[in-house]
Copies of this chain bind each other. A is one copy, B any other.
Amino acid sequence: MKAYLTRRYHFSASHRLNNDAFSAEKNRVVYGKCNNPHGHGHNYVAEVTLCGEVDPATGMVCNLADLDMFARTNLLDAFDHMNLNTLKCFANLVPTTENLTIEIFRRFQSGFSHAHLERVRVEETGNNSFEYAG
């Protein structure tokens, strides 16, 4: 019996959307007010969905304590109260929420082995969200 477990993590960060390879004018056209020079920020919500057999002894797909410990180190400590543009993973990548979602997916996929990572979904605001499933 394969079930899905989804857990939501909250973090606040800032970013500025700008591609150095574009002209200033093109950056303004492409990114609009997200290109404002000093950046802006969001309360992001990352939803991590795992999939696996429900263990008949524990009744769990995965222990949330293990998931939370991994997310503490690899998600919250990495992104909470940060300026995304200054992070190593966005040194050569525009920190759009699409790219942030993919980056979070990669971190969980390569390091969290207690259950299968199904997808990551990130809400940038209550009206915008992005999802990546590998």
Q: Contact residues of A with B, CB < 8 Å?
A: 1, 3-10, 12-15, 17, 19, 21-22, 30, 32-34, 36, 38-43, 54, 57-61, 63-65, 80-83, 85-86, 93-96, 98-99, 101-102, 125-132
Contacts and interface: CB of A to CB of B under 8 A. Distances in A.
Nearest to A5: B130
A41 B41 contact: yes
A119 to B, nearest CB: 9
A98 B42 CA distance: 18
B40 A14 contact: yes
A99 B102 CA distance: 31
B32 A1 contact: no
Interface centre among A9, A15, A98 (most CB of B within 10 A): A98
